[in-house]
Amino acid sequence: MVSTVLASSLARRNIHYGWVVGGATFLTMLVTAGAMGAPGVLIKPLEDEFGWSTSAISSALAIRLVLFGLMGPFAAAFMNRFGLRPVIVFALITIGVGFIGSLFMTQLWQLLVLWGVVVGFGTGLTAMVLAATVSTRWFNKQRGLVVGMLSASSATGQLVFLPLMAEMTQRYGWRATVVFVCGLLVLAALFVLTLMRDRPADLNLPIYGETHITPAPQAGVGLMTLLTSPLIILKEVSKTSTFWILFATFFICGLSTNGLIQTHFVTLCGDYGIVPVAAASVLAVMGIFDFFGTIGSGWLSDRFDNRWLLFWYYGLRGVSLLFLPFSHFTFYGLSIFAVFYGLDWIATVPPTVKIAADRFGPEKAGLVFGWIFAGHQLGAATAAFGAGLSRTELQSYLPAFFVAGAFCILAAILAITLSKSGLTNKGPAIAH
């Protein structure tokens, strides 16, 4: 296999193959995140061609976001059962089927099925749990850096492709953008098929940062046990106030990020006379600042009280959202918004993961965060549909932005209500 030859070649140069796996994962998350963000530039073209309302189109995007989140706790089960490569390739194929099918749709229910159910299911298999799984299996040393980079790729991918997709949509129509997304999915699938391996032991390598090879686990538990384990964990942690505070704040995180800005920002700017390419470029700037902000947040989360980090992240995000309607959508105003909002687009992830690990223990942290992330996507779905409904019924997006900003202030207050003593408990989850 190519991976075996490449691993041997890199080993002679003292380069661990884990970085190749990390690169393939980065590309996968970047592309699937770009696919998640693509509908943000396609709402207006779909309205023009089919006569569907913003709220109707947003309902499909809301379904997609809900499935994207709810699949998180179960995606790890599939990866443990079937391996990384089969699950990732299946996910990419599923997303591609959803987009290809949309080229031929004529009815709204087809949009709901294709962009809601099919794409939502596929993207859910490559959510944040993929980053956690790869970083844990392949890295001991510099694991935090890897988590930060992969987490950043997820949000950045939703933004960096948008200017190109907006330009393509404007010049050649929305179907050309869909074909472009499918091409990216094929490219990512080829990289995964060629380079991805499940564990370092598959290549007779130790985990990066260790000296001894960790054998691959023997035959795993049954599929039914893997599928029910997230539900058992949920029942346990739902007895704690820490879980519900993190769930609520992450619900608001989704409400104020990909459900609102990613989905509706381009259309919002269009309402103020800003062409899609320019609006998507603002989103790309946010993506650039987000990349560095998320990595910086990971560095800060190891050194400062994570409750106060969340307080400042949510508080500043709330202020930026409340500021946006008063920016008059000028170049100067939007630039200020892009910088401050972009820096903490997904900066809330490292502190939230850190608190979950401290409170519930490292063995449960992944599954617990999967459920917290589900809350994130429920919030995103609420904003995706609610903002579309606001524009349809009230002829304006602005009420949705004021509501999201106010909820961010609430999230900041909730974050500092977390018990500091509880955050150092690494044992089993117990009720407060």
- Round to whole Å and give the CA distance between 244 and 249: 8
What's the mean pLDDT when you consider all of the chain? 83
The amino acid that residue 210 corresponds to is: E
State the pLDDT at residue 188: 92
Expressed as residue numbers, the domain containing 375 is 2-203+223-420
For residue 393, being part of any structural domain is answered with yes
Query: Mean pLDDT across the stretch 81-91?
Result: 89
Predicted local confidence at residue 94, as pLDDT: 94
Q: Establish if 243 belongs to a structural domain.
A: yes
Note whether residue 185 is domain-resident. yes
- β-sheet bridge partners, residue 208: 139
Residue 263 corresponds to which tokens in the numbers above? 């989905």
pLDDT > 50? residue 401: yes
425 in a domain, yes or no? Answer: no
Q: What is the 3-state secondary structure (H, E, C) of the chain?
A: CHHHHHHHHHHHCCCCCHHHHHHHHHHHHHHHHHHHHHHHHCHHHHHHHHCCCHHHHHHHHHHHHHHHHHCHHHHHHHHHHHCHHHHHHHHHHHHHHHHHHHCCCCCHHHHHHHHHHHHHHHHHCCCHHHHHHHHHHHECCCHHHHHHHHHHHHHHHHHHCHHHHHHHHHHHCHHHHHHHHHHHHHHHHHHHHHHCCCCHHHHCCCCECCCCCCCCCCCCCCHHHHHHHHHHHHHHHCCCHHHHHHHHHHHHHHHCCHHHHHHHHHHHHHHCCCCHHHHHHHHHHHHHHHHHHHHHHHHHHCCCCHHHHHHHHHHHHHHHHHHHHHCCCCHHHHHHHHHHHHHCCCCCHHHHHHHHHHHHCHHHHHHHHHHHHHHHHHHHHHHHHHHHHHHHHHCCCHHHHHHHHHHHHHHHHHHCCCCCHHHHCCCCCCCC
CATH (domain of 233): 1.20.1250.20
- Note whether residue 146 is domain-resident: yes
Lowest mean pLDDT among 133-147, 228-242, 392-406, 415-429: 415-429
How many folded domains does the chain comprise? Answer: 1
Domain-embedded: residue 215? no
How sure is the predictor about 40, in pLDDT bands with cuts at 50, 70 and 90? confident
With bands split at pLDDT 50, 70 and 90, how would you rate the model's confidence at 408?
very high
pLDDT digits (tens, 9 = 90+) for 172-199: 889 999 999 999 999 999 999 999 988 8
Check residues 274 and 160 and name the one with the higher pLDDT.
274
| Domain assignment of residue 155, yes or no | yes
Q: Is 268 a member of any domain? A: yes
